[in-house]
Every structure is written in C-alpha cells, then in structure tokens.
C-alpha cells in the first residue's frame, strides 16, 4: 500500500493541516517504528518474530515457569540486538513533533526503549521495557545479585528469580501507562497510529477510544490494517513519512 508521490503529497499535507490545528496529539507506536533500526516486527511475514518463534514457548508466564533458561536466553539475545542498533529518523521525528504541538502523548507497545534513546520523554511503556529486570517474588524492578553471573538472574534484595519487565500474553497492562494512555486517547483531537498491526488489545482499542471521542485518526503503515478504513491512512515507512510530516508543519 505504498502511495504514489502525488497521493503521498496530498495525504501528508492533509495530516499536517490536522496536526497544525491540534490541541492534543496522542501517538501509539508499534514494532514497525523500530523496523528501520533493524529490529524485526512480530507479525511481518518471514521476518516477524512470531513467524520464527512460538510466543507460547517464550512470552507467557507459563513458559517462564516451565523453562526460565530458554526464556532468558531469548530475551538476552533480543537485548543484545537492541543494544547494537540506533533509533531511526522516525523516532527522532516524534521527538520534534512533541515540540511542535501544544500537548503530546506518546504511547508505545515497543519494549526496546528506542523512543527514549532518541530523546522522547514521558513515554508510556504499555508493554513494559525489556532492559529492566523485575523480581517475581517482590514484583518490583530490581537489581541483579552477584550470583546472577553463574546462571539465572537473581534479585539482589531477596534472591528471588528475576524476569524481564515486559508484559507477557495473558498478563495485565501496567496500571499507570494503561490509565494514562486511555485518558490521552479520550482527550486528544488527533490520534496517530504508527507501525502497528492494530491487532493486539487493549492497545489496539486506544484508536477506538479516540474515535469515539471525535478525534481525527491518522495511520502510518506500509500495509493496510483493521484501522485503515477509519483513518487517514498514509501508506509508507515511518522512517520516511514521519520526518516528511514534521517538515510539512513549518
Ligand atoms: P506487529 O508485528 O503486529 O505489526 C507491525 C506493523 O508494522 C505491521 O502492520 C507492519 O505492516 C508495520 N510496519 C512494518 N515496517 C514498517 C515501517 N518501516 N514503518 C511503519 N510500519 C511498518 O507489531 P505490533 O503491532 O507492535 O506484544 O504488535 C503488537 C504487540 O504484539 C507487541 O507489542 C507484542 C506483540 O506480541 C506483546 O508482546 C505483549
């Protein structure tokens, strides 16, 4: 669904006009915004993580209970990959967009921390952050004990097993980001959905909340999603479209 140049110019001008008038812009990002940094998405054919790995074996509390080593090896390999890449122009354009509108809320489903590395502040981490460890006993972010070097990571405070601070399938969204994101979606007048398949709830419900509140929905994605019909859908890669959108605000 990559647009022709003329259609792209028109859609970007339309979206920029809506952003220029906006009082509050709420952005929801997904794995697609990090794809141009070299991090695979989840569901893209062939390259998507869930095409090559079974989420039931790696991203559920049951999987972790069954085989914490397997899960930790996978998360350590993803951490390594994330440390080896950099934010892309799409991430930086959102930092700039935040400066250009009266009120800006950034909600991300991504656990990679690339928005923050690009300079975005107050990012609502809807699915947590892969770089943090959480103690499964005390259920808090924790430091690693020295023993962690020889096996599974352990909590420095209580010795309990640590897990990545991410949301696994079947788990609840952390209350803070969930409530703040719902409030922002219900208050914004422009909702920008970038690089997400809009398939995973409750995150995918935020656009519906915004729509019900009368907000203008703009989507940036090289492929159509379930949201495209209800949005100003701009077909293209976020690392290309977002900088153009911000440039068009001038
Ligand atoms: P998906 O992999 O489901 O969707 C990625 C979307 O990004 C697809 O619609 C692609 O077309 C689009 N895309 C690919 N390259 C892009 C680019 N360069 N620019 C813009 N868009 C691009 O990823 P998410 O929607 O983020 O949850 O998945 C949602 C959640 O499902 C994740 O947070 C994770 C996963 O299971 C949990 O683990 C809880």
- pLDDT tens digit sequence for 98-148: 999 999 999 999 999 999 999 999 999 999 999 999 999 999 999 998 776
pTM of the entire predicted model: 0.96
What is the bridge-based pairing of β-strands 103-108 and 124-125?
Answer: parallel
Give residue 41 CA to ligand 1 midpoint distance, Å: 5
**Contact 21/97 with Cβ under 8 angstroms?**
no
Angle 202-205-209 (CA atoms, 0-180°, nearest 5)? 135
Q: Mean pLDDT over residues 190-202, rounded?
A: 97
pLDDT (tens digit per residue) in 26-73: 999 999 999 999 999 987 765 677 767 777 788 999 999 999 999 999
Residue nearest atom 26 of ligand 1, based on CA coordinates: 30
77 confidence band (pLDDT: 50, 70, 90): very high
Instruction: Determine the atom of ligand 1 nearest the C-alpha atom of 36.
Output: 18
Mean residue pLDDT of the chain comes to: 94
**Token duo for residue 131:** 């770089």
pLDDT of res. 55: 74
pLDDT of res. 46: 58
């Amino acid at each position: 669904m990559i647009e022709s140049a003329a259609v792209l110019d028109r859609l970007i001008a339309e979206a920029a006009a809506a952003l220029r008038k906006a009082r509050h812009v709420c952005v929801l990002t997904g794995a697609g915004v990090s794809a141009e940094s070299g991090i695979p998405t989840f569901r893209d054919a062939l390259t998507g993580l869930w095409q090559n790995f079974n989420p039931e074996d790696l991203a559920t509390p049951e999987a972790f209970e069954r085989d914490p080593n397997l899960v930790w090896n996978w998360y350590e390999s993803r951490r390594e990959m994330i440390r080896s890449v950099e934010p892309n122009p799409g991430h930086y354009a959102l930092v700039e967009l935040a400066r250009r509108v009266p009120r800006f809320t950034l909600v991300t489903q991504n656990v990679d921390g690339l928005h923050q590395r690009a300079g975005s502040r107050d990012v609502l981490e809807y699915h947590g952050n892969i770089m943090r460890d959480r103690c499964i006993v005390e259920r808090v972010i924790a430091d690693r004990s020295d023993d962690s070097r020889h096996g599974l990571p352990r909590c420095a405070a209580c010795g309990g097993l640590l897990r990545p601070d991410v949301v696994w399938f079947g788990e609840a969204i952390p209350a803070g980001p969930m409530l703040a994101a719902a409030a922002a979606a219900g208050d914004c007048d422009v909702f920008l959905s970038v690089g997400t398949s809009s398939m995973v709830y409750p995150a995918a419900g935020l656009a519906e909340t915004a729509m019900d509140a009368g907000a203008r929905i703009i989507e940036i994605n090289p492929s159509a999603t379930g949201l495209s019909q209800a949005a100003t859908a701009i077909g293209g890669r976020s690392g290309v479209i977002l900088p153009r959108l911000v440039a068009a605000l001038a």
